[in-house]
Amino acid sequence: MFIPKKSDEKNQIEQPEAGKYTLYGWKRSYFTRKLEAALKFYGASYEFRRKSQENGREIQTRAGTHQVPVLHTPENWMIADTTPIMMMLDKRFPGKYMFPEGDLGVLVHLIEDYFDEWIARTAVHWRWNYEENHELLSLDAAHGNVEYAQQIASWGVRVCRATGVSSEIQKKEVENEYKRILNAAESQLQETKYLLGNRPTAVDCIFLAGLQAHFNYDPAPKKAIHSDYPQTIKWCEMRAEQWDGTGELAAFPESTPFAQFILKEIASTYLPFVIENQVALANKQKAFVIEMYGEQVSYLARPYVEQSRQMIVQRIQNDLTHDERKRIHQWFNEIALADILG
């Protein structure tokens, strides 16, 4: 997590009131909606404010990033990066953790990481590879500035290339991939209140975020999925409320059928991407090529994917007992994901 700069007399943004948070972001942002879902589940007192031209420079300077979201804390910190933010908030809201303790926390973290770093490319594809979305989303992102909106739409198409979703095969397959996930969610949500049991985790936060910011909002994906997954859409609309703190998670390692399905998806797609991304970074390569869905695909090497992988490794090393670490390593071997630990 970026260490925030202290406020000074030049700051124009008011410090939140005692015990309150301010979430700066954009409602159509994948990660803004992830953190917003978490704040609701925690029952945190917070205010949402859009990052704008007026407040953007100060937010960027203090948080150390141009990306959203940024959380302004009661201590007057401005911090970014949703996963470590949620780890911090877990300690501030006892009993309402989004990452469980022990080996179950590793399972949650692994699946959350998959949605953060792999399914994000699906959201990018379904937004920017369809021109019918461009006017609505780019104008919104550009605060109505038409010239800037055109630049944003062009940027979106470039991001699609960088994340490997430019060919017709990849466009088709990432949509099929997400529909498989929706099928698994549709079945799971008929059995449990949330995806890993009867209480929410970080996995529910990021899954909700995808639907609320992208897939059930942008015209192209909404048209493709809205009528086929009624339980999931209903859940998305209902679960945008506070949680009362009750319910249990399915036990490790079995977890839920949804979790078991995602772990198999990780092994077939995300795992080779993570491994080759790590190799490319070590060799100081800007990009790498792997086979994905039957064709050779180029991906931009991304430092944060490796940083995110390292967070899982650190959780295992630092937060588990000796017996739990032993059990986790055995489990990673059993599910054919041992290589993700490096």
Q: What is the pLDDT of residue 240?
A: 58
Q: What is the pLDDT of residue 11?
A: 58
pTM for the model stands at 0.95
For residue 126, which phi and psi values (nearest 5 degrees)? -70, -15
**CA 54 to centroid of chain Cα atoms:** 27
CA distance 109 to 322: 19
Alpha helix ranges (H) inside the chain: 30-42, 53-63, 82-92, 102-117, 120-128, 131-141, 146-162, 168-188, 202-210, 219-225, 230-238, 257-265, 271-282, 303-319, 322-334
What single-letter DSSP state applies at residue 40?
H
Residue whose pair of structure tokens reads 């390569």 in the numeric block: 285
Q: What is the pLDDT of residue 6?
A: 46
Are the beta carbons of 134 and 237 closer than 8 angstroms? no
Tokens describing residue 321:
């007992």
Residue 314 CB partners (closer than 8 Å, separation 6+): none
Tokens describing residue 146:
């038409």
What single-letter DSSP state applies at residue 167?
S
The Cβ-side half-sphere exposure at 111, using a 13 Å CA radius, reads 29
pLDDT digits (tens, 9 = 90+) for 300-309: 999 999 999 9
- Count Cβ neighbours within 10 Å for each residue of 158-179 and write b for 16 or more, e otherwise: ebbebbbbbbeebbebbbebbe
What single-letter DSSP state applies at residue 14?
P
Residue 156 CB partners (closer than 8 Å, separation 6+): 124, 127, 128, 134, 138
Instruction: Please identify every stretch of the chain with a pLDDT value under 50, giving residue numbers as ranges.
Output: 1-9
pLDDT digits (tens, 9 = 90+) for 148-157: 999 999 999 9
Q: What is the pLDDT of residue 238?
A: 79
Q: What is the pLDDT of residue 5?
A: 46
Q: How far is CA 170 from CA 100, 135, 189, in A?
A: 34, 24, 28
